[in-house]
């Protein structure tokens, strides 16, 4: 690429697009994370590893004598304090899972939980995807819808529901002991096993959807050829089908690993149900808790940055490994062109029975948190004990009557709305440059626009607090003081949330637009230029109308996932609660530290979020006229 | 109308040279074709002329104006793309009117011009349809109309007929020629179909591996190929290796295996000496089964294979270990294993030196 060529590529439109994309990505993604790295690696004396050293030698972080006791069987009476503060006698016999172990320290716990969730979610997701991709059976379309229910984000409340149902006085124990009379032990699941359970149930659909789209895209003739050569049954699956579906499976599994590691919903939600416990002994919660307590940047200990960098490092390694691996394995699509109907067959009687048992159990278990949220929001379940006793609209009504709640909703709508505008501008610009321009370094732009999906939100939040606090401090006392005030995270976290949503939810739109551009032949644009239209004119009269559907559907997904964003919302939101969004308020309510009401209000907000997501997914699918895996690398 | 001049135009894509020092001039009103196998760089050359690619080296002139660095939208060329590139979100009328709207022509005049060009391509009445509602042939005509309506300096056609079925292709190529003659517009055409190129063009440039192999009128190319590539690309042929025994004037005597054959050197640029290694190009349709005239080579052999093609039958004749293709009348009575004699006149027996360049083409031309 010579200079003359570069100048030709950089017409007015491209320059504007490049500036927009680079400004947003550098100022609101690269620089904050870089400042976090600086904080973690630089002390007054210069480059240092001492924060890492002190973190890794802290027995709380990496435990020298990990507790491996997973199950305790308690055979005696014991006083326990319930979350509402009353002292009760725990009944005679208890199977206590996760109460005192496993516990390896915050860092290893996080890795242990993420790996476990990834493996469990992969197994469940793969089986479900294989059934849905390869078998035809009555009711399949109903399962298709039911299987993605767990993706409807109801942060904190879903974990709370699981805690409530599985808890000592919960529905499950009631059924086991009093209805079925199978056992007189009370089963209690807390700590890391509970986190693993909650996260597996909410994240397996990510593996399921990515694997499903891989399986559906396998050219049937590849499997037919293998059968023609004598392979069948498990051998066919192991030697041909699975390797071809691996890119989707691997992508889904990696996302689950990263989402699990940065998740705050499970630890906070379980704390709401059980109080403090080992379920909060996770890196994500530790960082969150540190920032919740401090009043200024100076109070944050540098080892927290070291911990954040550790999390970023683990996530990046996972992401890069999978990127390399998936690109190596991208041979599934060698035979391009031609739409095929995927291989589908009818199972035999036994097979059909097995499929129904698996799917029905899976659907019931994985969607009960969401159903529980609806029940919490519409009944008195939060205070009535084991089962609800009456239906009430009072909690849903509080969405419009309680001022804290309406303020949070207004905040979320504002932030997500502004974010979507920024996302559309940035995502369309970045995707168009990547798809159509020959500019050196555009691969980097591509990576920057995709990678936020793999960067833990906690890292973004911490990076923002570091960088924008320093920026504000620098600007105070200068003519730009008001600008510093606008961006000071301890004063105005709202504005920063708009940008954190913009960056974190950018990949949905960037990827949708890029996919649209790939399906649009470049000669359509060349024809316009040939007829005398400048590049800008071509972009607005030809490109935009052709990819409008992709932009809109990407924007819708970006919008709802901004509304349900957790990590930056709770960390930045806690800096100034009056500017907190919905998910911040939910976390406060669940963690029992909000001024307003009960868990039911958080559930009502959860119902609001679910409704928005259902509408968004339906509209987006209708616009694109196809089912898209809306979460994928 | 304009003449188009390329001067040492070179374009590389990584290791591949798509255009290698191409120098030629396309005259006012000429119908000029780039012909060659896929990947020879003909489309790249056309796209360079359109401004959709820029050369790494070399210059491009429209008349005497250097347009090498002009962006495509300032060149006033009208291009018809291989896939037509009709905008699916616009009607036929809007597709065609696009270039005129860009040129800020008054609405009334746009309407008049669009209807006029629709008449020219015989599509009047379809202006409110969308491209997806048209057949392949109709889409092709819309693409042509869209390129013509702006009255371009040069009309560029990139394999415009390759997506049409055989019958429609013949119809459309006559149509394109008719319109081009009527408008007298400088036209540059790209195809890999040698028959299409022969029928439609005033002049043809045969390309291979980014290089121009020969530029000539169709008949000259066919009868007087300047090199082995051109000779073998235009139609089927048999290539035999031999050694030059004697040269008198234009007539060369060669030994090929244990046969002695006489042939001509097609171009004065080609120099051969006695003792040189050479190749002979024989076209199957130039053979006769009876000796009807003088100055012919006689080849004897055994029929090894017979392909009934329809208008003729193609025989593969084995003679002294050499395999030669010979076309005969389809009614000619012959069966595999028969002995046969075939005759080809000296001036249809074309001789080239077996240079290094030729050796390089060997695998491509199925010796």
Q: Would you say residue A91 has pLDDT above 70?
A: no
What pLDDT does A630 receive?
44
Burial grade of B95 (CB within 10 A; 0-12, 13-18, 19 or more): buried
Give the angle A21-A330-A452 at the CA atoms, nearest 5°: 30
What span, in angstroms and rounded, lies between the C-alpha atoms of A439 and A510?
Answer: 18
DSSP β-ladder status, B77-80 and B65-66: unpaired
Please answer whether residues B347 and B249 qualify as being in contact, where contact means their C-beta atoms are separated by less than 8 angstroms.
no
Contact A531 B146 (CB under 8 A): yes
What pLDDT does A92 receive?
62
Confidence label for A463 from pLDDT (cuts 50, 70 and 90): very high
CA-nearest residue of chain B to A537?
Answer: B102
Per-residue model confidence as pLDDT tens digits over B127-185 = 899 998 998 889 999 999 999 999 999 999 999 888 888 888 888 889 899 989 988 99
Q: Would you say residue A166 has pLDDT above 50?
A: yes
Is the ipTM higher than 0.85? The answer is no
In Å, how far are A330, B34, B230, B316, B324 from B237, measured between CA atoms?
43, 22, 11, 11, 9
Judged by DSSP in three states, B326 sits in: strand
Given strand B339-345, what is the order of strands in its sheet?
B322-328, B313-319, B296-308, B339-345
Taking the Cβ of residue A12 and every Cβ of chain B, the question of whether any pair is shorter than 8 Å is answered with no
Residues in chain A with CB shorter than 8 Å from the CB of B81 are 523, 526-527
DSSP β-ladder status, B57-62 and B211-216: unpaired
Tokens representing A310 are 């550790």
What pLDDT does A628 receive?
46
- Burial of B262-294, coded b for 16+ CB within 10 Å and e otherwise, reads bbbbbeeeeebeeebebbbbbbbbbbbbeeeee
Contact B89 A546 (CB under 8 A): yes
Q: Would you say residue A270 has pLDDT above 50?
A: yes
Least Cα distance to A412 among A158, A161, A632, A606 occurs for: A606
3-state secondary structure string, B230-258? HHHHCCCCEEEEEEEEEEECCEEEEEECC
What pLDDT does B366 receive?
42
Average pLDDT of the residues in A427-444:
89
What pLDDT does B325 receive?
92
What pLDDT does A502 receive?
94
Q: On the CB side of A355, how many CA atoms lie within 13 Å of its CA?
A: 22
Q: How far is A619 from chain B (nearest CA, A)?
A: 21
Per-residue model confidence as pLDDT tens digits over A285-299 = 999 988 888 877 878
Least confident among A78-82, A603-607, B253-257:
A78-82
Tokens representing A73 are 């069987």
Residues in chain B with CB shorter than 8 Å from the CB of A11 are 71
Residue with more model confidence, A594 or A513: A513
Contact A530 B82 (CB under 8 A): no
Average pLDDT of the residues in B228-241:
86
Beta-carbon count within 10 A of A346 CB: 10
What pLDDT does A333 receive?
43
3-state secondary structure string, A37-100? HHHHHEECCEECCHHHHHHHHCCCCCCCCCECCCEEEECCCEEEECCCCCEEEECCCEEEECCC
Alpha-carbon dihedral A403, A409, A412, A418, rounded to 10 degrees: -100
Confidence label for A543 from pLDDT (cuts 50, 70 and 90): very high
What span, in angstroms and rounded, lies between the C-alpha atoms of A372 and A385?
Answer: 13
Taking the Cβ of residue B46 and every Cβ of chain A, the question of whether any pair is shorter than 8 Å is answered with no
Give the angle A484-A485-A489 at the CA atoms, nearest 5°: 95
Contact A526 B71 (CB under 8 A): no
Confidence label for A332 from pLDDT (cuts 50, 70 and 90): very low
Across the strands, what pairs with B215? B205
What pLDDT does A340 receive?
57
Which range among A340-354, A514-528, B262-276 has the greatest average pLDDT? A514-528
**What is the average pLDDT value for chain A, to the nearest integer?**
84
Confidence label for A389 from pLDDT (cuts 50, 70 and 90): confident
**What is the average pLDDT value for chain B, to the nearest integer?**
89
DSSP β-ladder status, B154-158 and B77-80: parallel
What pLDDT does A331 receive?
46
**What residues contact residue B326 under an 8 Å CB cut-off, 6+ apart?**
B284, B287, B314, B315, B316, B317, B340, B342
Beta-carbon count within 10 A of A230 CB: 8
DSSP class of residue A578?
G
Judged by DSSP in three states, A532 sits in: coil
Instruction: Report the residue of A11, A531, A543, A551 to disrupt the B interface, i.e. the one with the largest count of B CBs within 10 Å.
Output: A531
What pLDDT does B360 receive?
54
What span, in angstroms and rounded, lies between the C-alpha atoms of A291 and A69?
Answer: 31
In Å, how far are A39, A52, A64, A372 from B205, measured between CA atoms?
66, 69, 79, 75
Please answer whether residues A630 and A557 qualify as being in contact, where contact means their C-beta atoms are separated by less than 8 angstroms.
yes
**What residues contact residue A72 under an 8 Å CB cut-off, 6+ apart?**
A94, A95, A96, A97, A99, A100
Residue with more model confidence, A94 or B248: B248
Q: Is the Cα dihedral A301, A306, A308, A309 positive or negative? A: positive
| H-helix segments, B13-106 | 42-50, 92-102
E-strand spans in chain B?
A: 4-13, 16-26, 31-35, 57-62, 65-66, 77-80, 154-158, 186-191, 203-208, 211-216, 238-248, 251-256, 259-264, 277-282, 296-308, 313-319, 322-328, 339-345, 350-353
Confidence label for A76 from pLDDT (cuts 50, 70 and 90): low
Residues in chain A with CB shorter than 8 Å from the CB of B72 are 526, 529-530
What pLDDT does B267 receive?
78
Q: Would you say residue A372 has pLDDT above 60?
A: yes
Residues in chain B with CB shorter than 8 Å from the CB of A531 are 73, 78, 98-99, 102, 146-147, 150
What span, in angstroms and rounded, lies between the C-alpha atoms of A497 and A566?
Answer: 11
Q: On the CB side of A47, how many CA atoms lie within 13 Å of its CA?
A: 0
DSSP string of A124-191, one letter each residue: HHHHHHHHHHHB--TTHHHHHHHTTGGGS--TTHHHHHHHHHHSTTSHHHHIIIIIS---SSEEEE-H
What span, in angstroms and rounded, lies between the C-alpha atoms of B260 and B16?
Answer: 42
Q: Report CA Rg, chain B.
A: 24
Confidence label for A596 from pLDDT (cuts 50, 70 and 90): low
Q: Packing angle between helix A403-436 and helix A506-519, nearest 10 degrees?
A: 40
Confidence label for B365 from pLDDT (cuts 50, 70 and 90): very low
What span, in angstroms and rounded, lies between the C-alpha atoms of B280 and B269?
Answer: 17
Residues in chain A with CB shorter than 8 Å from the CB of B147 are 530-531
Out of B85, B87, B150, the one facing A532 most closely (by C-beta) is B150
Average pLDDT of the residues in A586-604:
75
Taking the Cβ of residue A537 and every Cβ of chain B, the question of whether any pair is shorter than 8 Å is answered with yes
Contact A532 B82 (CB under 8 A): no
Please answer whether residues B40 and B208 qualify as being in contact, where contact means their C-beta atoms are separated by less than 8 angstroms.
yes
Give the angle B166-B172-B173 at the CA atoms, nearest 5°: 90
Which range among A242-246, A342-346, B259-263 has the greatest average pLDDT? B259-263
Average pLDDT of the residues in A524-540:
93
Q: Helix (H) and strand (E) counts for chain B?
A: 9, 19
- Give pairs for A474-482: CB < 8 Å, separation 24+: none
Taking the Cβ of residue A438 and every Cβ of chain B, the question of whether any pair is shorter than 8 Å is answered with no
If phi > 0 it is left, if psi is from -120 to 50 it is alpha, else beta; for residue A85 that is left
Please answer whether residues B150 and B183 qualify as being in contact, where contact means their C-beta atoms are separated by less than 8 angstroms.
no
Per-residue model confidence as pLDDT tens digits over B193-212 = 988 999 999 999 999 989 99
Q: Is the peptide bond before A102 cis (omega within 30 degrees of 0)?
A: yes
Contact A530 B98 (CB under 8 A): no
Confidence label for A597 from pLDDT (cuts 50, 70 and 90): low
Per-residue model confidence as pLDDT tens digits over A475-518 = 888 888 888 888 888 888 899 999 999 999 998 888 888 888 88
Average pLDDT of the residues in A564-576:
88
Q: On the CB side of B366, how many CA atoms lie within 13 Å of its CA?
A: 9
């Amino acid at each position: 690429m010579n200079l003359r060529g570069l100048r030709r590529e950089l017409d007015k439109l491209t320059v504007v697009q490049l500036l927009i994309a680079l400004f947003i990505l550098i100022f609101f993604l690269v620089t904050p994370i870089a400042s976090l790295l600086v904080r973690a690696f630089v002390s007054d004396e210069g480059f240092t590893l001492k924060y890492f050293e002190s973190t890794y030698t802290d027995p709380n972080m990496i435990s020298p004598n990990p507790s491996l006791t997973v199950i305790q069987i308690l055979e005696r009476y014991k006083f326990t304090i319930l979350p509402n503060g009353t002292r009760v006698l725990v009944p005679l016999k208890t199977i206590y899972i996760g109460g005192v172990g496993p516990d390896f320290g915050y860092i290893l716990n996080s890795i242990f939980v993420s790996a476990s969730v990834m493996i469990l979610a992969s197994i469940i997701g793969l089986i479900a995807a294989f059934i849905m991709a390869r078998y035809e059976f009555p009711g399949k379309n109903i399962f298709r819808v039911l299987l993605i229910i767990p993706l409807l984000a109801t942060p904190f409340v879903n974990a709370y529901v699981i805690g409530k149902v599985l808890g000592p006085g919960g529905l499950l124990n009631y059924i086991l002991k009093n209805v079925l009379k199978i056992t007189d032990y009370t089963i209690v699941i807390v700590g890391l096993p509970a986190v693993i359970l909650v996260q597996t149930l909410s994240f397996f659909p990510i593996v399921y959807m990515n694997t499903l789209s891989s399986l559906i895209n396998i050219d049937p003739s590849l499997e037919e050829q293998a059968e023609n050569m004598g392979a069948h049954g498990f051998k066919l699956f192991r030697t041909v089908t699975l390797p071809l579906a691996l890119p989707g499976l691997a992508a889904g599994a990696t996302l689950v690993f990263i989402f699990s590691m940065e998740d705050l919903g499970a630890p906070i939600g379980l704390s709401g149900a059980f109080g403090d416990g080992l379920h909060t002994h996770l890196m994500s919660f530790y960082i969150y808790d540190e920032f919740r307590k401090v009043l200024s940047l100076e109070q944050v200990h540098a080892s927290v940055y070291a911990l954040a960098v550790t999390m970023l490092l683990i996530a990046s390694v996972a992401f890069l490994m999978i990127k390399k691996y998936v690109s190596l394995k991208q041979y599934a699509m060698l035979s391009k062109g031609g739409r095929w109907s995927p291989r589908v067959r009818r199972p035999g009687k036994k097979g059909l029975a097995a499929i129904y048992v698996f799917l029905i159990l899976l659907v019931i278990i994985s969607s009960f948190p969401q159903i529980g949220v609806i029940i919490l929001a519409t009944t008195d379940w939060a205070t009535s004990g084991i089962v609800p006793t009456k239906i009430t609209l009072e909690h849903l009504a509080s969405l419009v009557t309680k001022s804290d709640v309406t303020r949070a909703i207004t905040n979320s709508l504002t932030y997500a709305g502004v974010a979507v505008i920024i996302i559309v501008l940035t995502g369309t610009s970045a995707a168009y440059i990547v798809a159509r321009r020959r500019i050196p370094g555009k691969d980097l732009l591509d990576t920057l626009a995709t990678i936020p999906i793999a960067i833990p939100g906690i890292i973004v939040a911490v990076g923002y607090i570091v960088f924008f606090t320093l920026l504000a401090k620098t600007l105070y006392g200068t003519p730009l003081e008001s600008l510093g005030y606008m961006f000071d995270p301890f004063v105005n976290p709202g504005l920063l949330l708009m940008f954190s949503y913009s960056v974190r939810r950018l990949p949905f739109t960037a990827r949708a637009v890029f996919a649209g551009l790939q399906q649009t032949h470049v000669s359509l644009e060349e024809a316009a230029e040939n007829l005398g239209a400048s590049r800008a004119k071509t972009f607005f009269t030809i490109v935009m109308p052709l990819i409008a559907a992709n932009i809109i559907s990407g924007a819708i997904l970006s919008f709802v996932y901004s509304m349900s964003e957790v990590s930056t919302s709770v960390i930045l939101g806690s800096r100034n609660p009056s500017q907190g969004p919905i998910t911040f308020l939910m976390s406060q309510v669940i963690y029992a530290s909000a001024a307003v009401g009960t868990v039911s209000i958080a559930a009502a907000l959860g119902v609001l979020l679910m409704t928005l997501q259902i509408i968004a997914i339906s509209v987006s699918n209708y616009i694109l006229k196809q089912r898209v895996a809306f979460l994928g690398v | 109308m304009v003449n188009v001049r390329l001067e040492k135009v070179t374009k590389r894509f990584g290791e591949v040279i798509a255009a290698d020092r191409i120098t030629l001039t396309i005259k006012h009103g000429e119908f000029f074709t780039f012909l060659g196998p896929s990947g020879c760089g003909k489309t790249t050359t056309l796209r360079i002329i359109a401004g959709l690619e820029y050369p790494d080296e070399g210059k491009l002139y429209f008349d005497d104006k250097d347009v090498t660095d002009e962006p495509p939208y300032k060149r006033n060329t009208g291009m018809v793309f291989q896939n037509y590139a009709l905008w699916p979100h616009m009607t036929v009328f809007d597709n065609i009117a696009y270039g005129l709207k860009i040129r800020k022509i008054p609405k009334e005049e746009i309407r008049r011009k669009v209807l006029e060009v629709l008449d020219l391509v015989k599509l009047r009445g379809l202006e409110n349809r969308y491209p997806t509602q048209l057949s392949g042939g109709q889409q092709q005509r819309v693409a042509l109309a869209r390129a013509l309506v702006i009255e371009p300096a040069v009309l560029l056609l990139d394999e415009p007929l390759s997506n049409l079925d055989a019958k429609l292709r013949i119809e459309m190529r006559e149509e394109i020629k008719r319109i081009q003659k009527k408008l007298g517009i400088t036209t540059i055409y790209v195809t890999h179909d040698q028959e299409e190129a022969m029928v439609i063009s005033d002049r043809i440039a045969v390309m291979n591996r980014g290089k121009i192999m020969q530029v000539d009128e169709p008949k000259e190319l066919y009868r007087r190929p300047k090199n082995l590539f051109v000779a073998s690309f235009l139609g089927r042929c048999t290539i035999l290796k031999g050694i030059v025994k004697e040269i008198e004037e234009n007539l060369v005597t060669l030994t090929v295996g244990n046969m002695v054959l006489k042939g001509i050197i097609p171009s004065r640029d080609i120099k051969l000496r006695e003792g040189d290694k050479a190749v002979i190009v024989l076209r199957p349709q130039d053979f006769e089964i009876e000796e009807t005239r003088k100055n012919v080579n006689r080849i004897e052999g055994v029929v090894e294979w017979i392909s009934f093609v329809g208008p003729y039958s193609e025989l593969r004749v084995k003679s002294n270990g050499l395999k030669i293709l010979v076309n005969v009348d389809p009614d000619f009575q012959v069966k595999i294993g028969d002995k046969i004699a075939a005759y080809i006149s000296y001036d249809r027996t074309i001789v080239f030196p077996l240079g290094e360049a030729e050796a390089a083409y060997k695998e491509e031309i199925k010796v």
